Amino acid sequence: MNLTLTETQTLVQKTAREFAQKVIAPEAARLDAESRFPREILKGLADLGLMAVNVPEDLGGSGAGALSYALAMEEVAAACASTAVTMAVTNMVGEIIAHFGTPAQREFHCPRLADGTYAAGSFALSEAGAGSDPGGMSTTATLLESGEGYVLRGDKQWITSGAHAGVFIVWARTGNRETHAGTRGISCFLLDGGTPGLTIGKAEDKLGLRASNTVPLVFDDIQLPKTALLGELNGGFKIAMMALDGGRVGISAQAVGIARAALAESVQYARDRKQFGKAIGEFQGIQWKLADMSTKLEASRLLCHRAAALKEAKKPFSREASMAKVFASEAAVEICNEAVQIHGGYGYTRDFAAERHLRDVRASTIYEGTSEIQRIVIARSQLA
Ligand code: COS
């Protein structure tokens, strides 16, 4: 793996870092405290090309590649994890449409996701009874007798940005239950925000990522035209799996960004805080914590960048994405937990960001596939 960044990657990293530190970071605590969706900040990210980093330029995206995306994600997450997850899902939605969409679908939705016309895009896979096992979903899209479209019926759960999305990618069961059971009878559809019959439920009151929006959706016999089908009929499960592989690289980068911020603040605190007549950073107990935190952080970043580099080279990267996700997210939880410990009593208050990082990072071992699911993917690849 080449560890030297290209000119494009360096530029994307610099652009994201400047915007994240100047514009996003000063707002993060307030956005969290007010559980406020970062609408204006997202528009700023779109203006910089960061809402569609992997969407080709002819569709309005940056076409900068998977590693550039990981670099940008780390920068944004280091400033505000809520903004980062909103950016992550929107980027994923744009990439799926660019990859699997018809020319009309691509040309309609990708530029709107890229330029911020849509505040966000949403990925509607999970259901109340189908989280780790999306193949067990019960939402259906039934072909009309005329054959001219589908009726979408059911509900979804944990939908990031659902109250603000311009477009949803929705997975629904289309297959005959006998010939296309389980994962083989699922298709993927595009649904416009505001479509009659779409109800956005009450936003979840979450431990962290409070400025991101997470809602349930209800589809009440929504009539979808045939042109809403994304990809092949009954081919939707594989689209979800491929998208999640890329999404997991993004979440590992998000975890790296949050942990980086927690570590930097811990180093600063260890320099500033005096006890027993000297800075606490002079005590070996604190030094060893900082050493372990920075080692875990570097290892996480390397795994993330390796998975991103494989993706960019169009090589298989499913196993590496799961390794990056499980390692980086678990390491980041440990790093953020130690950051609170180093900050002592102050770390338990809102006077410092350490508590926000710990609340925010906790989701990263759960969403985009739990740690347990990542271990299933990794183990299966070894045993195959
Ligand atoms: N890329 C492409 N295709 C894939 C794939 C991948 N990464 N992973 C699986 N597939 C394909 C398989 O090859 C199989 O194809 P065939 O039907 O042609 O044989 C099909 O998809 C079904 O795969 P599998 O039998 O492995 O499906 P399972 O139901 O056993 O599920 C896991 C596999 C557990 C990996 C999957 O359900 C999963 O990722 N769950 C977590 C979901 C998740 O991350 N949810 C969070 C949503 S965002 S908050």
User: Hey, which residues does 211 pair with through a beta bridge?
Assistant: none
Phi-psi region of 123 (alpha: psi -120 to 50; beta: other; left: phi over 0): beta
pLDDT bin (cut points 50, 70, 90) of residue 3 is confident
The domain in which residue 71 lies consists of 7-118
20 lies in the same domain as 65 = yes
Element (H, E) at 192: strand 186-192
368 has catalytic annotation? yes
Helix (H, G, I), strand (E, B), or coil: what is residue 10? helix
Q: Is 67 in the pocket of ligand 1 (CB under 6 A)?
A: no
Q: Which two tokens stand for residue 207?
A: 């431990």
CATH number at residue 299: 1.20.140.10
* Ligand 1 centroid – CA 317 distance (Å): 14
177 lies in the same domain as 214 = yes
- Residue where one domain finishes, among candidates 102, 118, 134: 118
242 lies in the same domain as 360 = yes
Please tell me whether the overall predicted TM-score, pTM, comes out greater than 0.95 for this model.
Answer: yes
Contacts of 223 (CB under 8 A, 6+ apart): 144, 149, 150, 151, 152, 197
* Ligand 1 centroid – CA 1 distance (Å): 27
Mutational pocket test of ligand 1: of 100, 127, 132, 238, the residue with most ligand atoms within 8 Å of the beta carbon = 238
Instruction: Give the C-alpha separation, 330 to 371, whole Å.
Output: 8
Closest C-alpha to ligand 1, atom 36 = 133
Classify residue 1: in a domain, yes or no.
no
pLDDT bin (cut points 50, 70, 90) of residue 72 is very high
pLDDT one-digit tens code per residue, 184-240: 999 999 999 999 999 999 999 999 999 999 999 999 999 999 999 999 999 999 999
Number of domains in the chain: 3
pLDDT one-digit tens code per residue, 244-299: 999 999 999 999 999 999 999 999 999 999 999 999 999 999 999 999 999 999 99
- The owner of tokens 């000119």 is 7
* Ligand 1 centroid – CA 368 distance (Å): 12
